[in-house]
Amino acid sequence: MVYIKVVTDGSPYGEPRLSCMSVGFLLKKKGDSVVWRGPKKNAMIRQFLSDVRWGDLDYLVIDTPPGTSDEHLSLLEHLAPVHSRLSAVIVTTPQAVALIDAMKCLSFTRTVSLPVLGLIENMSGYVCPCCGEISNVFSTGGGEEMARREGLPFLGSMPVDTELVTLLDAAEVEPTSNESSDKSFELLQRYQKTSSANLFTAITQKLIQTLPGVEQSSSEANTR
Amino acid sequence: MVYIKVVTDGSPYGEPRLSCMSVGFLLKKKGDSVVWRGPKKNAMIRQFLSDVRWGDLDYLVIDTPPGTSDEHLSLLEHLAPVHSRLSAVIVTTPQAVALIDAMKCLSFTRTVSLPVLGLIENMSGYVCPCCGEISNVFSTGGGEEMARREGLPFLGSMPVDTELVTLLDAAEVEPTSNESSDKSFELLQRYQKTSSANLFTAITQKLIQTLPGVEQSSSEANTR
């Protein structure tokens, strides 16, 4: 029997907390590969949803892999009893090829009647650390244009933030034992000072604002 | 019955040609989603390997999705009769999180005894179009260091090339009918002038040079 509790911020007494679960926590070594076909992934998804002691949750955020495959179908199957409370957020980068993949995602959500809360454009521009010029690494505005064309709320753009990359890369090499939990909180404090933190906050606020509309359309909204 | 012939360069009379196949060619609309579980993907992979009129091939290059899942296992199953002639190339970006995924790939190739021809670092730096400063968008040198640590040949770095992105994005919006084949050749000519084209050529040459070593270790090398 394995018991893993992962809490990244806040305290158990009132403050908001972020709990998380990942296959990665169950591996002996970070670099170990998980070579699984669909049915085994399906079983793991079921376990993550039902056997993890999540406690009372306001929101459950699931970061799905790219594509529209076993993971996405299994999630919808296992979450069918709460289907009316499910919704999706689509993340894309601005290049034409990435937008085609985002369109495939959107086509999938429409097929399975999953409301889409909105679209986020990642890797949207880059601030040169030398001259401060913001250049569009991977073309520009494709996500915003797609959102407009498809009638989706545009939730925001995330430019490439080298500061955040450096911060996260430094965290990766540190061990994740209990002794390092102080360091994790230090990391969160340093994250709050990056320009990305403000952008993430704005996106989260927009997201939460779009939720009531989705929940009103649900027959289960009052039981929540 | 569907018959699709896709040839992107050269001529059928002697010159080298590049033929390709993709699920995308079979979709009515580019944005349509392919919602398939593993067994159906497995069947499509088998069809692509056996039912496409590839003709005589020098090399068959398969661009696999990220991860180590149904697609990778099915490919190895279907290609088992030629296992001794198979090999892999690992592509990573330089961030610590991406390198962990690349390590998982490497762990997979070792589990299934697949020789690795080398490692390529993508998104390795960015040339500011304003001041010409080369900055490391996503940290730097991680791929090269991983190759050294794991005893793999380092095949090269591909910086972010906005010229190539613009070129490909412009191509995406053009229709892919027969009438536009002239435009496709024009695109190839413009591609040859990008800085990426030289880098790709160098990587390909390095790759081809590492192949004889892999083939010598194969019992089927002489029958090739």
Supply the pLDDT for residue A223.
Answer: 41
Q: Is the dihedral of CA B95, B97, B101, B106 positive or negative?
A: positive
Supply the pLDDT for residue B173.
Answer: 58
Angstroms from A199 CA to nearest CA on chain B: 19
Best probe of the A interface among B69, B103, B127, B131, by most A CBs < 10 A, is: B69
pLDDT(A160) > 70: yes
- Which ipTM did the prediction report? 0.77
B26 touches chain A (CB under 8 A): no
Interchain pair B139, A95: CB under 8 A: no
Interchain pair B106, A131: CB under 8 A: no
User: pLDDT tens for residues A88-141?
Assistant: 999 999 888 899 999 999 999 999 999 999 999 998 888 777 776 777 777 778
Cα separation, B149 vs B171, whole angstroms: 39
Mean pLDDT score of chain A = 83
A189 touches chain B (CB under 8 A): no
* pLDDT category of residue B13 using cuts at 50, 70 and 90: low
pLDDT mean over B46-53: 90
pLDDT(B178) > 70: no
* pLDDT category of residue A220 using cuts at 50, 70 and 90: very low
* pLDDT category of residue A156 using cuts at 50, 70 and 90: very high
Interchain pair B35, A70: CB under 8 A: no
* Chain A partners within 8 Å of B173 (Cβ): 96
* Chain B partners within 8 Å of A36 (Cβ): 68-69
* Chain A partners within 8 Å of B165 (Cβ): 95, 137-139
Interchain pair B35, A108: CB under 8 A: yes
Q: What percentage of chain B reaches a pLDDT higher than 70?
A: 82
Interchain pair B37, A73: CB under 8 A: yes
Supply the pLDDT for residue A61.
Answer: 94
Supply the pLDDT for residue A7.
Answer: 64
pLDDT mean over A193-217: 85
pLDDT mean over B80-97: 92
Domains detected in chain A: 1-27+34-82 (no CATH), 87-178+185-216 (3.40.50.300)
Interchain pair A104, B32: CB under 8 A: yes
pLDDT mean over B102-120: 94
B146 to chain A: closest CA residue: A31
* Chain A partners within 8 Å of B97 (Cβ): 168-169, 172
Which residues of A, range 93-112, sit inside 8 Å of B by Cβ? 95-97, 100, 103-108, 111
Lowest-pLDDT range of B12-21, B114-123, B141-150, B186-195: B12-21
The secondary structure of residue B127, as a DSSP letter, is E
pLDDT(A185) > 90: no
* pLDDT category of residue B72 using cuts at 50, 70 and 90: very high
* Chain B partners within 8 Å of A133 (Cβ): 128-131
A168 touches chain B (CB under 8 A): yes
| Contacts (Cβ under 8 Å, ≥6 apart) of A64 | A71, A72, A75
Which pair of tokens denotes residue B111?
Answer: 């589990």
B63 touches chain A (CB under 8 A): no
pLDDT mean over A173-191: 66
B61 touches chain A (CB under 8 A): no
B168 touches chain A (CB under 8 A): yes
B73 touches chain A (CB under 8 A): yes
Which pair of tokens denotes residue A41?
Answer: 């992934």
* Chain B partners within 8 Å of A136 (Cβ): 162
Among B37, B69, B133, select the one facing A130 at the smallest CB separation: B133
A46 touches chain B (CB under 8 A): no
Angstroms from B184 CA to nearest CA on chain A: 16
Q: What is the DSSP string of chain A?
A: ------B-SS-SSSS---B---GGGG-SSTT------HHHHHHHHHHHHHTS---S-S-----PPSSSSHHHHHHHHHTGGGGGG--EEEEE-SSHHHHHHHHHHHHHHHHTT--EEEEEEEEEEEE-TTT--EE-TT-SSHHHHHHHHHT--EEEEEEE-HHHHHHHHHHHHS--SGGGHHHHHHHHHHHHTSHHHHHHHHHHHHHHHHHHHHHHT-TTGGG-
| Contacts (Cβ under 8 Å, ≥6 apart) of A10 | A16, A17, A18
Mean pLDDT score of chain B = 83
Supply the pLDDT for residue A81.
Answer: 94
Angstroms from B74 CA to nearest CA on chain A: 9
Interchain pair B131, A130: CB under 8 A: yes
Q: Is the dihedral of CA A128, A130, A131, A132 positive or negative?
A: positive
Lowest-pLDDT range of A53-57, A63-67, A101-105, A118-122: A53-57
* pLDDT category of residue A161 using cuts at 50, 70 and 90: confident
Rounded to whole angstroms, the maximal C-alpha distance in chain A is 55
